[in-house]
Structure formats: structure tokens, C-alpha cells
Amino acid sequence: MNQFPFLTLLTLVPLVGGALVLAPGREHGKTVRFMALAIAFLVLALAAALSLFFDRTQNGMQFVERAAWAPSLGIQYHLGVDGLGLLMVLLSALVIPFALLSSSAPVANPRLYYSLFLFLEAGLFGTFTAQNFVHWFAFWELSLIPAFFLIKIWGGPRRTAAAVQFFVYTTAGSVAMLIAFVALYNATGSFEFSQIAETVRDGRLGRAALPIFLGVFLGFAVKTPLLPFHTWLPDAYAEAPTGVSMVLTGAMSKMGVYGFLRVLLPIFPEQMRALQTPLLGLAIATIVFSAAAAFSQNDLKRIVAYSSINHLGYCLLGIFVAVQWAEDSAASANEKAAALNGAMLQMFNHGITASALFYFVGLIEQRSGGSRDLHYFGGLRKAAPVFCGLMGITVFASLGLPGLSGFVGEFLIFKGAFALAPWAASVAALGLLLTAIFLLTILQRVFSGPLPENWRAWPDLTNAQRLTAGPIIALIFILGIYPRLLTDLVNPTALAILWPNL
Amino acid sequence: MIAWTIYISLAGAAGLLFVPAAKPCLARRTALLVALAGLVFAIVGVTMIPAGQLTDIVNAPWVPQLGIRFHLAADGISLVLVLLTGIAAVAGVLFSWNIEERANEFFALYFALIGGVYGVFLSFDLFLLFVFYELAIIPKYFLIVIWGSTRREYGAMKLALYSFGGSALVLIGLIAAYVVAGAKTFDLVELARHPFSPGFQTGAFLLVFVGFAVLAGLWPFHTWAPTGHVAAPTGASMLLAGVVMKLGAYGALRVAMTLFPAGLRAWRTEIAFLAVIGIVYGALAALAQRDFKFVIGYSSVSHMGFVLLGLATLRQIGLSGAVLQMFSHGVIAGLLFAVVGRMIYDRVHLRDLERLRPFQLNKALPFAAATFLLAGAASMGLPGFSGFIAELQVLLGAWQSFPTLTILAGAGIVVGAAYTLRALDKAFYAPDTAGPAERPALPPISLPERLGALTLLTATLAVGLFPNILLNLIQPALASPLMRPVWEGGAM
Amino acid sequence: MNPDWAWMRLLVPEGIVVVTALAALTCDLIITRRRLAWNRGQAAGLLSCLGCVAAIWWLAWRPGPGNPAMLALTPLTQFLKCLLLVLVGFTAIISMRAKFTRHVGEYFALLLLATVGMMLLISSNNLLMIFLALELLSLPLYILTAFNKSSIASAEGALKYFLFGSVAAAFTLFGISLVYGLTGEIDLDSIATHLRAQPAKPAFYAALIMILAGLSFKLAAAPFHFWAPDAYEGAPAPVAAFIASASKVAALFVLAKVLLIGFINQAGSAASGAYAPGWAPLLATLAVVSIGLGNLAALVQNNFKRLLAYSAIAHAGYGLLALLANPEQGLPALLFYIGAYGCAVLGAFAVVTVLEESGSRARLVDLAGLSRRSPLLAFCLLVFVLSLAGIPPLPGFFGKFYVFTATAGGLRPLGGLWLVVVAIIGSVVSLYYYLQALKQVYAAPPLPDCGQLAWSWSARLAISALCAIVIALGCAPNLLLSKICAAIQTSTL
């Protein structure tokens, strides 16, 4: 247990930074951008330091901080990270500077833009490090506001509707979750995740367990999103500006999956076991339908949005299959651990690759003067080979090509799924096929084929852009070749989730 | 010491009548001084008076023939509400800084109202409480009928008659209780100790609770609220929604529920039901309004529904949430009305949400946009603001007895997000179809407005981030011998 | 002292007032005849005032208990006479600048003679004496109502008042004679003794109804109220003030005396669920009808004096409620209530006097912009009207509260609650029309053709003093209440 308040600092620095960034005058856009980037990189350094000090052999919470806040209500200021938490913290710390760098064109009202980004980052960190429901819920809700405004003010033509839909949908899910936790507090007397988990596993909820589970499930299902609560996502991602889409897909969507792992699985194993078949059905439906929907899209951003839904479907597939432990045999233990590990890896890797994909799509949009239509482009490989190369790598990583980061996660998930729920895995594999098709279609439509006249002068990646994308691509390769960097981190957590009494 | 809040407000009201009508400057400054003095006394009282027991401040015989005494006292709940009144009074004066015509009379009426409100929160003799309660009705009427806007005569009369009607019901109940208890005393504490028969309690509770709850906006007696708030000038609507509606809720808690706990147990389901209807109906109605002020007016009805739901929970946590929501909504409603009334309407002279687009208010009045954003977030119940803890406590308390109603209340919260966003969007962030050249120029936000907004924002943030400031006052008070019988052993 | 002259000593206050009346008449006829009208008014008014003060002094400092045959002079009656004289004194002051008549001396003389009638009415314990005093009170009032010779409404009101009054007087006399026939007594105590011994015959109820009808006429309780709106509207404002305040005090008190002393055993009960025949159910009916009719009719008025007339009817109803309570609580409540009401309505009519003297009529729209024309006058009117409406911290509220509490608790616990509910509903309704008047005063701009307000120093003093008294009584009701209770306790009512 480290006495240095790492986690508080982690959340506080972007919060304060967001306020500081509002300070300079209206004309100093560059200064503001510089300040914001500096803060974001500072936070990245903090996160890296955190991971250095993190003990990978332990499987409990580390860097725990506790303080009383409203003791009569059982609300504590309780922070802590385990492997999963650290993973998410690292992901957010990486995606935010990446997203900030992507907005190189001067933005209108830069102070507000950058400060909202930093507030969003603070919200993300708060959610991933909280161990008390109210604290966690506070940051969960608070991260909605910057996201809402980022979409609303700097977004595309239909941004208002998209932003409002996003906000109201997510709030509806959150309120359902709030009420469910109200019921949990009434039954267990605590807002601490660990205590609630213990009490509920002892079976104290009785018949109320199922409705409460559904309430909490609803909240996360809307956020992730899971079919049929996903309708807010394509609009929100498409209308948001590039940087915001990167954060939305890279970090915010992981909040939902994180919730499944941190909250739903430890507290409601019974219910998830009982509902496993419908849940698997939903996950598979998500995978297949989103892939099919991506097919019929012409808008590049929408395609990537649907592919986001698709990949998160895999994560959920991995989580849902890991529930079935009525037999509790040693063999299935391996598969379950694999599935969970795969889900967590997929969270991280998808975060990186999807935000990179949005980055490149954003570059395309910039260069084409605002158009994102798939049929608009062609043969860009000749005009911008580096661009094509890097984007191609990203696409393949998203596809799950071995050697790139996306492969390990998907492999582990399917390893677990085929053993534990073969029918589901088969259908999901179909989804994999569809994913491959539409992703490759992008590559083919945009980069191959004849180069139209108007795109002959298509600029390649500038040096700054290469510097921005470079580390990410490198990370994709590194994680593809040496996934142990991540699995070492998350495996103890997966085991802890599966066998909490150990 | 804390009784000086009452005395100085009423003295200020009388004094302001002597300020010449041609000198609004002098009137405003005097008013601000009086309001600040009241706030200072309130804060001193909060720090010095213990929360967990009833502390007598003044207890002198008044009309011995009837057993009426001039009895002022305070416990934690009174202190919280007195503090709210102090803050709201200062903010209201700051936001009424632009009143030019008959400013002296405006502020005189304003402080007569405030004095009455302070009096209600500190009275522990039923007659005295009733005197202050009714005293507050007439200033409200005049404030609206002279300085109000839309349909002010109708709105003012409706408000006055509804309030008077509600207090009439209360009067009947009080007289009945006094007579049945032997016609010896009107003291609240002593009457609370008197064992009324359950049958009597059921009837008396209904009368007194409904009488007070009319002023608290209990559905379906809430119709005065949107009309009245819209008709009132900004400073008055801040007070009306912020403080006067709390008079009703406080009366329901302190008089109806404390004197007749058995009656509360008999009627709690109906009350909870009506409260939740108010929450949902208020939210849905707010969603459908075109007039910005009506949106806020209906949102007030919706938020007060939470207070009433908390009162019906019969659990300490629910009651604590209700009192905290009284404070929280008082501040938030003040903020919202200030933005709509003072910052927008006084400059633009329009409240129709569909017609605010040409003004591009987020660019013309960024301070107003930021204030409304924060106030809206607080109104939605987002964590970090005072409303979250209050609503959380109410939901926690309500779940055990009324699970379905709790879920409906949650739905009301979601609709709350929707109407807040709709208003925010249409009023401030409507897409700019004309260019900046076509935008009418608006006067900037003045210093008094900024100070007022900061005061209220600080209050809601402070309580949101450190709820213990108020919870340490409320919860010991609920555990005191006077209030304990209200909720103890009540949850089923 | 010669015992034959002893009774004269007891009638000194009345004597003082009579002398003052004659003095005012004489002074006006001889000394100030040729002066300006307002000078004459001032002189006569001051004289009247002095006379009232002298009488009050005698009553307060030189009382003498005594029970001459037909009069009862107890501390309570002395106290009430003081109260009445205060009200009359204020009426005299506000009449000082009256422009409605040239017969100033006659005016003040009639006023004071009516006062004598009231004072005798209060002290009377004998039905015949009561009737005589009632007539002595009423006849000058009929004439005073017609005093504004340039107004047709004045003559019409006076005629209606006179016709109604005469019929009512006839009824009263008939009732009294029936009582005499049935019991053989006209003294209230003796009647009570007689009726206690034997049960009441049906004819007695007829007598009761007739006496009630006659006395209710004086009180302007519905359904014997038809004279009131026209008389109040037509009469000059000071006269209306006098009728509304002083004569109502006297009328209610005499009704209380007749019922509570003479017919105490025939009370019956109007409590819910415990009906018993007697005068209580009759009073309850009268009260309910008065409250209902008075308040509802006032809603549609657009003349302020008529509005006050109908509200007077409603207030009579509230006052009657006090008689339905336990006499221990009911009597103090009644007295405080009518004392508070008298002051407030006198003040309201005083303001109307100022308006009439400034040349405007007394419609509601004539009140417009009063707060701009004279803030002090508007504030005083605010206080008076709010006291009538029953808004704390004014004495009207406390009076109503006391009456309601007494009624609710009287007879049997909560038996009178239904009456209280009716009264409270009436109160709520009344707020509407009072606020309409106040809205004109404070919110409406002045009429373009309104003139300057002619507000003499004397009227200013009087109205401000009355306003201060009303506020003081409201904030510290004990000032009046303790004296009332002390007076009741040391009397044998």
C-alpha cells in the first residue's frame, strides 16, 4: 500500500488542469493547446509511474486511499486499482493525448474545448479508480457533461440530436442503475463494491436479486452498448469531432465493459449464470448485427462506429462465457481465465486500434474537405503510401491479424468461448468473418483501385502526423508480439474475479 | 441571537418605507445591508446553536387567556432552513438590483416576506407560527401584482387564494387540536406530547398536511405554482420557489407530522403516490413548455415532489433527504429563476424558447450560459451538487416501502435531464443560422448579478461536495426527542 | 347624598354627552353661525370630542357600581361605554371637515344623541328600556343617513333604513310584549328565573324569533340586512362609519345580553350531531346565511362603500358565532372581535371620508393610485382592510381566531367545528375582494381626473392614531383582552 496519493493526484491533475486551461485569453489558442498537451502528457507519465510501482504478483487492490465523506450514508472516498483498473487508467492516459494531438486544426473556442477534454479525462480516471458506488457513480455521471458538450458544440450537422440522445439514453441507464443500488444499499447496508459483493453472494437478496440485477445490467448495457440499446452510438460517434470520437470509442465505451467486470460479475454471479443463454444471445446479436450494419454504411465514421460495437461484443462474449461454472472443473477454469483475459486484452487493444482508426478517418475527412463517403475515394495508395500503410496496419490489427495486438485478445476469447459455449462461438466466428469483410472493404475502396483526378494531390502524412501515429503503431506491434506485458497485469484480476474466495 | 434575523428583516421592511421612492439606489443598498445582516445572524446561529436538541430563544407569554406564547426556538432543521433563507434573501436582493420604479416599496414588501419566513422557521408556538405563515401571504400578492409580468393579476390572486385556502385548512386543524387537547396551550412541544386519539389524528393530519402541502406544491394543488412563478418578478420568483414553497414542506413536517404521527402512518401511501405523480407530471409538463419560465416553474413542482416523497418514507434517511432537498432546491431554483428572469428576460424581453435563437445567448451572455449549465446540472441531480445527495437519500428511504414509486421517481429524474437539456439547447446553444452581424447587442451581466450567481453556486457546490455541513445539522435534529416519534418504528 | 339623587350620579356620563350635544347645537346656532363651514365643523367637532373625553374620564375614574331598577352599571358596561365613546370621538374628528351639509350643529347633536341611546342600550337590563334605547339610537341614525341633501342615494338609503327599522322595531316590541304576556316580567334576570321554573311554551319561540328578528336588523345580519348596502352607500361616509362601528358594537352586545341573561336556558344547541331546539340553531342559521351572503355579494361589488356594507354583514355573521360558544370563552371573544372590527371599519370609512371630501366618489376605481397620491393614507387603508380580512398580525385576525376557537370548543368539544369551517371558507372568499380593493390602491395608476387629496390635519391625526391603535392591538392583543377579561370577571354577567 503506497502512502503517496497517486490515484487522487491522477484524478486531480486533469481536473485542475482543465480549470487552468480556461485562464488564458481568447486569442491564445496555441498556448492553451500547449498547456493541455503538457497536462495530458504529465498524466501519462503519472500513469506510467503507477504501473511501474504496481506489484503484478498481488491480486488485491493497490494504492488504496480511504477517507470518510458522509459516513451516515455509508459513502466513503475509497480509491484503489488492481490489474484491470490499472489497465483502464493506462488506456485512458494514452488515448487522451492521442486525441488531443489529433485536433491539430485550430478549433473554435479552444479554451473550452481543451478544458472539457481534461475534465473528461478526470471523469474517466475517477470512474476507473473508485471502489465505492457513490463516488463511482458521481464520476460516471460527471463524465457525461464534457462529452455532451464536446459533441454538441464542435460536432457535425446533426450534433444536437446526437448529443441529446447520447445524454438522455445514458442517463436513463444510469438512473436504472442508481435505483438498483438504492435497493442494494437497503439490503446490504453498504455502498462498497467489495462488501456488496460478499453480502449478495451469501444470498441475502432473495427474490429481489433479479430485478436489481436487471437494473444494474441496464445501466451498463446502454453504455457499452449492447443490442438493443445501441442506437445512440452511431449518431454520437459520427457527429462528434474526430478527437472526441477517439475518446468516446477508446476510453468511454470501456466504462461499460469495465462495469460488467468490476460490478456485475462479482456481485451477481448467480443471476448471470441463470441468464447466461439470453446474455450470450444478446452478445452474439450485437456482434452479428453490428457487423451486418457496418456493411450497409457508406459513411466511414459510421462504419468504424459499428465496428466498435462489434468489437465490444466480443469483449462481452468473453465475459458472459466465463460465468458458467456450475461444474467448476479444472479444464473449464483454464478456458474461463482465458476468456476473461481475452476480454480485458481486447478492451485495451480495441481502445488503441479504434481510436487510431478514427484518427485516420479524421485525417481523410480533413483532407477531403469534409466528405466521409466510402465511394468518394479510391486508389489513395498511390498518392499517400505511408498513410495507407499505417492505416492498413491499424485495420489489420482491428481485424485480428496475428502478430498485431488485436489477435491475442480475440484468440483468447474464442479459445474460451469455443470450449464453454461452442454454438455461441460459432455464430460469433461468423461475425468475425463479416468484420473482416467490411474492414477489408474499407481498405479496398479507399486505398486500392483507380485514383480519381481530384485526389491526385492527396497529401501524405505530415511529419507531425507520423510522429503522432508512430508510437501507436509501434504499440500495436509490440503488444502483438509480446502480449505478456498486458496479460501479466490482468491475469491476477481475472483469477480474482473468477474465484473471489481464494 | 438568531431571532434577530426576524427582527431586522421586519425593521428593515418598515424602515424601507421611509426611503423616498425617487432614490432607488439608497433603497437597494439598505436592502442589501439588511439581507446581509440576516445572513450573518443566520450563520452565527448555525455555528452556535446545537443541532440535536431544541434550544429556546425567546419564550414570553403573549396572550395568556388562550395559552399563546411568543415562543421562538431552533433545532438543526430550523437552522438549515434559516440558513437557506439568508442565502436566498441576499441573492434575491442582488438579482433585483435593477428595479427602478418604487424600489423602496419593493424591498419593503420583500423583507416583510423574508421576516415572515424567518419567523415560521423559528416559531414553536402554533399560533405564532400561523401568524408568520399568513403574514407572508400579502407581500407575495403585492410583489407580483405591482412588479410582475405575464398575467400578473391572475397569478397573484391565484397564489394568494391558494395560500390562504391552504392556511385555512391548517387553521381548522390547529383549532381542533387545541380544543381537543384541553384548550390550554398552543405550544408545539407540549401538544406533540398530548396523546390524541388515532381517529382524530387521521382526520387532523389530513387537514393540516394538505393545508401546508398546498404551498409545497403537492399535486393536484400545485397549479398556483407555475402561474405564480411566471407572473412574479425575478427576485420574488426566486423567493417563491426557493423559500416559500419550503414553508409548506416545513409546516407539513414540523406541525402535521410531529403532532399527528399516527395520522402520517395512515396516509403515507397516498402522500407518496401524489408526490411521485408530482415528480413525473411536473417533469413531463416542463418538457412540453414553450415559455422558459414555465419550464422552471414546473421543474419546481417536480423537485418538491421529492421533498414530499421523502417526508412520506417514515425513515430517518428519507426525512433527512427531504430536508436536504428543501435546502438544495431552494438554492437551485433561485439560480434558475435568476438566469431566466433577470439575465435573459430583462435583457431580451422574450421567454419563448423557440424565439431565442437569434440572440445566440451562449455567445452574447457566456456567464449566463455557464450559470445555467451549472444550475441545470445541479437540477438534474448530478453528483457534486447538492441535489444528488438529497435525491439519493430520498430514494434510499423510499425503496423499502414504495419500490414501484421509487422506480417512477427515477424515471422522473431522467425526464429531468431531458427537459433541462432541451431548455439549455434551445435557449443558449441553438445553431447560429444568421451571422454575428445580425445578432442584437445585449448589455453585459452586471456585477450584482455575478455576485448573486456566485453566492448560490457556492452554496450548492459546497453542500454537494461536503454534504456533512448540513447533514450534521439535520440528522441529530431528526434523532431528537421531538422529531424521533415521527419516523421511529414507522417503516413497514 | 340624597338617595333620590344617587341614580343621577350613575347617569353622569350620559348626561355629559347630552350636554355636549346641546352645547354643540347652541354653539353652532349662535356663536359660529356666520363662520366658514369648516370652521363650524371644527368647533363643533372639537366640542363633541371634548365631551366624549370627559365622559370617558368619568367612566374610567369615577365609576360607581349600582343597580338601579332598569339599568345595570357594571365594570363591563362601563368599559364598553368607554370603547363606544372612543369610536364616537374618532367619528367626530373625521366629520370635522364634512362638506356634505350646512347643518353642522344639528349633525353633531344628532350624533351625540345617538351615542346616548347606545350608552343606555348597553346598560339596560330591562326589555322595555332596551326598546327605548334602541329607538333613541335608531331615530337619529335615520336622519343622519339622509343628511346629504344633494344626493338622492342618501335619501333613498335613509328611507329604506327608516322603513326597515320601523318594521323591525314593531317586531321587537311585539316580541317583548309576548314575553311579558308569557312570563309577566320585563326584567332580564326575572325572565330567566321564571323560565327556569317552567318549560317554555311554543308561543315563547315565536317571541324569541321576533326579538331576534328585530335585533338582527340592527346588526345587519342576513336575512334582515336589506337596508344595509343602500344605507351605507348613500349615507355620508362619517355616518356610515358610525353605523358600521359603534352601533354594531352596541347591537351585538345587547343581543348577547338578551340571549345570555334572559333566555339562557332556552339556548338549545347547534353542535353537529347534538341538535336541540332553542335560539342557538337560529343564531347558527343567521350566522351561516350572513357569512355566505355577505361574502358572496361583496365579490361582485364595484363600489367600496357597498363592499364594506356586505362585508359588515359577513362580519356580523362571524360575531354571531361567538354567541354560540361557551359564555366563558365566547363573551371575551365577541367583545374583542367587535372592538377590533369597529376600529378597522371606522378607519376604512374614515379613508372614504377623505376621498369624498376631495370630490371623488367611493367606487373601487376611485381608490386607484391612492398609494401614489398619499402613501400614508394608503398604508392606513392597507392596515384597516387587512384587519377586516383577518390577516395577522392585525387584530381582525386575532379576533376571528379567538371567535373560531371559542366556537369550536364550546357546547361540546368540536361540536361547533362545522360553523368554524363555514366561517373560514367565508374568510378565504373575502380575501379576494379585499385584495381587489388593495390592488387598486397599490397597483393601479391614479385616475387622470382625480383632484388633490384634501386631507386636513385633524383627519390625518385621527386616521394615523386609529391605524396605530389597530396595529398595536394586533401585535399585543393582550392590551385589550386583559381589560375585557378583568371587566367580565368583576361583573356578574
CA distance C272 to A96: 78
Contact between B183 and C409 using a beta-carbon 8 Å cutoff: yes
If we measure between CA atoms, which residue out of A395, A363, A349 comes closest to residue A257?
A: A349
C-alpha cell, A38? 503538457
Mean pLDDT of B254-269: 89
Report the mean per-residue pLDDT for chain A: 83
Mean pLDDT of B69-75: 91
Preferred mutation among B405, B468, B470 to probe A, highest tally of A CBs within 10 A:
B468
**Phi/psi at B260 (nearest 5 deg)?**
-125, 65
pLDDT value of position C400: 92
CA distance A52 to B112: 65
CA distance B117 to C420: 27
CA distance B275 to B280: 9
* pLDDT bucket at C63, cuts 50 / 70 / 90: low
CA distance C224 to C470: 29
Residue A235 lies in a domain: no
pLDDT at residue A1 is higher than 50: no
Which are the contacts of A45, defined by CB distance < 8 A and separation ≥ 6?
none
Contact between B183 and C405 using a beta-carbon 8 Å cutoff: yes
Please name the helix (run of DSSP H) or strand (run of DSSP E) that holds residue B336, with its range, or none: helix B316-337
Mean pLDDT of A415-426: 84
Report the first-to-last Cα separation within chain C, whole angstroms: 28
pLDDT at residue C343 is higher than 90: yes
Q: Which residues of B touch C425 (CB under 8 A)?
A: 168
Q: Percent of chain B beyond pLDDT 90?
A: 41
Of the partner residues B65, B142, B160, the one whose CB lies closest to the CB of residue C442: B142
If we measure between CA atoms, which residue out of B28, B9, B22, B29 comes closest to residue B99?
A: B28
Burial B446-467 (b: 16+ CB within 10 A, else e): eebbebbbebbbebbbebbeeb
Torsion angle in degrees (nearest 10) through CA of A143, A145, A146, A148: 120
Q: Which residues of B touch C398 (CB under 8 A)?
A: 63
Which chains reach chain B with 3 or more Cβ–Cβ distances below 8 angstroms? A, C
Mean pLDDT of B113-123: 94
> Which of A5 and A220 is assigned the larger pLDDT?
A220
Give the position of cell 473554435: A108
pLDDT at residue C34 is higher than 80: no
- The interface residues of chain B toward chain A in range 412-441, judged by CB-CB distance below 8 A, are 413-414, 417-418, 421-422, 425, 429, 431
Mean pLDDT of B15-41: 89
* Interface check C371 vs B, CB under 8 A: yes
Q: Which residues of A touch B403 (CB under 8 A)?
A: 183
Q: List, as one string, the DSSP characters of B378-422.
A: HHHT-TTSHHHHHHHHHHHHHHTT-HHHHHHHHHHHHHHHHHHHH
Residue contacts between B and C (CB atoms, under 8 Å): 87
The domain segmentation of chain B, as residue ranges, is 4-487
Residue A429 lies in a domain: yes
Encode pLDDT of A123-181 as tens digits: 999 899 888 888 888 888 888 888 988 888 888 888 888 888 888 888 888 888 888 88
> Number of helices and strands (H, E) in chain B?
24, 2
* pLDDT bucket at B491, cuts 50 / 70 / 90: very low
B-side interface with C, Cβ within 8 Å?
17, 62-66, 105, 127, 130-132, 134-135, 137-138, 141-142, 145-146, 153, 157, 160-161, 164-165, 168, 171-172, 175-176, 178-180, 183
pLDDT value of position C36: 66
pLDDT at residue A332 is higher than 90: no
- Report how far Cα B393 is from the mean position of its chain's Cα atoms: 19
Q: List, as one string, the DSSP characters of A267-290.
A: H-HHHHHHTHHHHHHHHHHHHHHH
* pLDDT bucket at B277, cuts 50 / 70 / 90: very high
DSSP SS3 for C221: coil
DSSP SS3 for B467: coil
> Which of B206 and A32 is assigned the larger pLDDT?
B206
CA distance A93 to A87: 10
Residue A373 lies in a domain: yes
**How far is C410 from chain B, CA to nearest CA, in Å?**
9
Of the partner residues C413, C428, C439, the one whose CB lies closest to the CB of residue B161: C428
Please name the helix (run of DSSP H) or strand (run of DSSP E) that holds residue B293, with its range, or none: helix B292-311
* Interface check C50 vs B, CB under 8 A: no
If we measure between CA atoms, which residue out of B428, B443, B442, B409 comes closest to residue B292?
A: B428
If we measure between CA atoms, which residue out of C132, C135, C130, C157 comes closest to residue C144?
A: C157
Alpha carbon separation from C335 to A336, C253, C327, C484 (Å, rounded): 91, 8, 12, 7
CA distance C241 to A426: 100
C-alpha cell, B93? 436582493
Do C and A make contact via 3 or more CB pairs under 8 A? The reply is no
Preferred mutation among B320, B399, B433 to probe A, highest tally of A CBs within 10 A:
B399
C-alpha cell, C26? 347652541
* Interface check B317 vs A, CB under 8 A: yes
pLDDT value of position A415: 86
Encode pLDDT of C139-160 as tens digits: 999 999 999 888 898 999 999 9
Q: How many CB atoms lie within 10 A of CB B269?
A: 14
pLDDT at residue C367 is higher than 90: no
If we measure between CA atoms, which residue out of A121, A114, A97, A105 comes closest to residue A467?
A: A97
Contact between B63 and C443 using a beta-carbon 8 Å cutoff: no
Of the partner residues B63, B141, B179, the one whose CB lies closest to the CB of residue C478: B63
Alpha carbon separation from A112 to A122, A154, B359, B432, C258 (Å, rounded): 15, 11, 20, 18, 85
Q: Which residues of A touch B320 (CB under 8 A)?
A: 72
Provide the angle, in degrees to the nearest 10, between the axes of the packed helices A330-367 and A385-399. Answer: 150
Q: Percent of chain A beyond pLDDT 90?
A: 1
Among the residue ranges B39-53, B430-444, B460-474, the one predicted with the least confidence is: B430-444
- Report how far Cα C9 is from the mean position of its chain's Cα atoms: 27
DSSP SS3 for B53: coil
pLDDT at residue A325 is higher than 60: no
Report the first-to-last Cα separation within chain A, whole angstroms: 20
**How far is B446 from chain A, CA to nearest CA, in Å?**
21
If we measure between CA atoms, which residue out of B225, B218, B134 comes closest to residue B174?
A: B134
**Phi/psi at A157 (nearest 5 deg)?**
-60, -35
Give this complex's ipTM: 0.89
C-alpha cell, A21? 486551461
**How far is B451 from chain A, CA to nearest CA, in Å?**
20
State which residue of chain A sits closest to B385, comparing Cα positions. A138
For chain A, what is the radius of gyration of the CA atoms? Answer: 22
Encode pLDDT of B395-421 as tens digits: 988 988 888 898 899 899 989 988 998
Q: Percent of chain C beyond pLDDT 70?
A: 92
* pLDDT bucket at C192, cuts 50 / 70 / 90: confident
pLDDT value of position C379: 92
* pLDDT bucket at A375, cuts 50 / 70 / 90: confident
Report the mean per-residue pLDDT for chain C: 86
Contact between B164 and C428 using a beta-carbon 8 Å cutoff: yes
Mean pLDDT of A47-72: 78
Q: How many CB atoms lie within 10 A of CB C384?
A: 26
Among the residue ranges A47-56, B271-280, B428-437, the one predicted with the least confidence is: B428-437
pLDDT at residue A68 is higher than 90: no
Contact between B382 and A145 using a beta-carbon 8 Å cutoff: yes
Give the position of cell 483498473: A85
Q: Which residues of C touch B183 (CB under 8 A)?
A: 329, 405, 409
Q: How many CB atoms lie within 10 A of CB A298?
A: 12
Output the CA torsion sign for C114, C117, C123, C127.
Answer: negative
Encode pLDDT of C297-306 as tens digits: 999 998 999 9
Q: Which residues of B touch C408 (CB under 8 A)?
A: 175-176, 179
Among the residue ranges A274-288, B347-361, C308-322, the one predicted with the least confidence is: B347-361
Beta-ladder partners of C269: C276
Burial B280-301 (b: 16+ CB within 10 A, else e): bbbbbbbbebebbbbbbbbbbb
**How far is A455 from chain B, CA to nearest CA, in Å?**
32
For residue C68, say if its preceding peptide bond is cis, omega within 30 degrees of 0: no
DSSP letter, residue B444:
P
**Domain coverage including residue C207:** 3-490
> Number of helices and strands (H, E) in chain A?
23, 2
Residue A330 lies in a domain: yes
Most confident of A209-223, C60-74, C382-396: C382-396
* pLDDT bucket at C28, cuts 50 / 70 / 90: confident
pLDDT at residue B434 is higher than 70: no
Contact between B471 and A72 using a beta-carbon 8 Å cutoff: yes
Number of structural domains in chain C? 1
Q: Which residues of B touch A22 (CB under 8 A)?
A: none
pLDDT at residue C316 is higher than 70: yes
pLDDT at residue A328 is higher than 70: no
* pLDDT bucket at B492, cuts 50 / 70 / 90: very low
Which chains reach chain A with 3 or more Cβ–Cβ distances below 8 angstroms? B
Encode pLDDT of B137-180 as tens digits: 999 999 999 998 878 889 999 999 999 999 999 999 998 898 88
- DSSP E strand boundaries for A173-252: none
Number of structural domains in chain A? 1
Mean pLDDT of B238-262: 91
Three-point CA angle C392, C393, C396, nearest 5°? 65
**How far is B200 from chain A, CA to nearest CA, in Å?**
34
